[in-house]
Amino acid sequence: PAAGGEVLVVDGVVKRFGGLVAVNQVGFELRAGEILGLIGPNGAGKSTLFNLVCGTATADAGRIRFLGQDIAGLPARRIAARGIARTFQHVRLRPTMTLLENVMLGAHLRARAGLLRGALRLDRAEERAIRAEAMRQLRRVGLDPNPHELAGNLPLGQQRILEVARALAADPLLIILDEPAAGLRRLEKQKLAELLRALRAEGMTILLVEHDMEFVMGLVDRIVVMEFGTRIAEGPPASIRADARVQEAYLGG
Ligand code: ADP
Ligand code: MG
């Protein structure tokens, strides 16, 4: 999509767990080349909403449109194949595999999606192409100096960046990240923010689900705030920072 074009539209989405309404009629839009922050105190429903977009959970009501097509209810694999890549709130790398191998897993995802031609086994040329693509993504995020290091040996900040590289290897149009700054040191957060800014400058569209309000404020174009499953505010960082209801939600939460 052209810069500013519609990428993701979430409209009136509802998700219940028994009697609990974890996401209650929430909606927002995400445009190409934009970083949207989705914030809120613990239990607000951020991860649930995130899972609805990725297809790891199914909404009880509402619509989710990606590039103009309805994706609500599609299995996660099909949504990923359409160009939404994700990172996890708790890092899900393979610690005993190398950086390169971890990113290759992400590239395989795309290769497999393209394998409707019928080949189940990757031939050597494809394997080489995947390896080259993974190296390219490691360079893109600045983790190329030691591609054969084990992922488990990296400090948490670099593991998070490696997860972004793995997501990028699937060649997504939209990346969604669940609390990527959690547990990171100040300098690690700065590095991560730098990377996300660089990706935006390349035209990537990013949905950032984050508890760390300061991390979000300096980075995103627009913010949606959730509390108890509902959207309580939306706007640019400055207006969100000044919003009394948002301040209350964070102090109370
Ligand atoms: P956040 O990511 O904003 O901290 P969550 O989306 O994880 O919030 O949770 C929102 C609410 O839904 C919480 O009250 C949580 O306990 C509840 N919840 C989340 N997942 C489940 C589940 N699988 N089963 C039951 N309740 C859940
Ligand atoms: Mg969460």
Q: What is the CATH number of the domain that holds 183?
A: 3.40.50.300
Domain boundary among 146, 171, 196: 171
Looking at the fold, whether 239 and 182 belong to one and the same domain comes out as yes
Nearest CA, atom 10, ligand 1:
45
Separation of CA 234 and ligand 1 centre (Å): 21
Separation of CA 89 and ligand 2 centre (Å): 7
Separation of CA 21 and ligand 2 centre (Å): 15
Quote the pLDDT of residue 110.
64
Phi-psi region at 142: left, alpha or beta (left = phi > 0; alpha = psi -120 to 50): left
Looking at the fold, whether 179 and 167 belong to one and the same domain comes out as no
Q: Is 176 helix (H, G, I), strand (E, B) or coil?
A: strand
Looking at the fold, whether 142 and 216 belong to one and the same domain comes out as no
Looking at the fold, whether 129 and 150 belong to one and the same domain comes out as yes
Give the number of C-alpha atoms closer than 13 A to the C-alpha of residue 181, restricted to the C-beta side.
Answer: 24
Looking at the fold, whether 77 and 138 belong to one and the same domain comes out as no
Q: CB–CB of 225/233 below 8 Å?
A: yes
Model pTM? Answer: 0.91
Looking at the fold, whether 31 and 141 belong to one and the same domain comes out as no
For Cα atoms 68, 70, 71, give the angle at the middle one, nearest 5 degrees.
Answer: 120
Tokens of 50: 């995130």
What number is the ipTM of this complex? 0.98
Nearest CA, atom 24, ligand 1:
17
Pocket of ligand 1 (CB under 6 A): 17, 20, 22, 40, 42-48
What is the C-alpha separation between 175 and 200, in angstroms, rounded? 10
Q: Which atom of ligand 1 approaches the CA of 209 most closely? A: 2
In a domain, 89, yes or no: no
The secondary element (H helix, E strand) that includes residue 76 is: helix 76-82
Q: Which of 252, 77, 33 is nearest to 170 (CA)?
A: 77
Q: Which atom of ligand 1 approaches the CA of 229 most closely? A: 10
Question: What range does the domain containing 130 cover?
Answer: 95-171
Q: Which ligand is nearest to the CA of 89?
A: 2
Q: Is 153 helix (H, G, I), strand (E, B) or coil?
A: helix
Angle between helices 156-168 and 99-113 (to 10 degrees): 20
Q: Which ligand is nearest to the CA of 179?
A: 2
| pLDDT digits 0-9 by tens, 132-174 | 999 999 999 999 999 999 999 999 999 999 999 999 999 999 9
Count of the separate structural domains present in the chain: 2
Looking at the fold, whether 47 and 105 belong to one and the same domain comes out as no
Looking at the fold, whether 141 and 213 belong to one and the same domain comes out as no
Looking at the fold, whether 177 and 252 belong to one and the same domain comes out as yes
Q: Which atom of ligand 1 approaches the CA of 44 most closely? A: 3
What average pLDDT does the segment 169-194 reach? 94
Looking at the fold, whether 75 and 185 belong to one and the same domain comes out as yes
Looking at the fold, whether 219 and 117 belong to one and the same domain comes out as no
What average pLDDT does the segment 5-10 reach? 96
In a domain, 88, yes or no: no
| pLDDT digits 0-9 by tens, 194-248 | 999 999 999 999 999 998 888 999 999 999 999 999 999 999 999 999 999 999 9
Looking at the fold, whether 10 and 75 belong to one and the same domain comes out as yes
Averaged pLDDT of the chain:
91
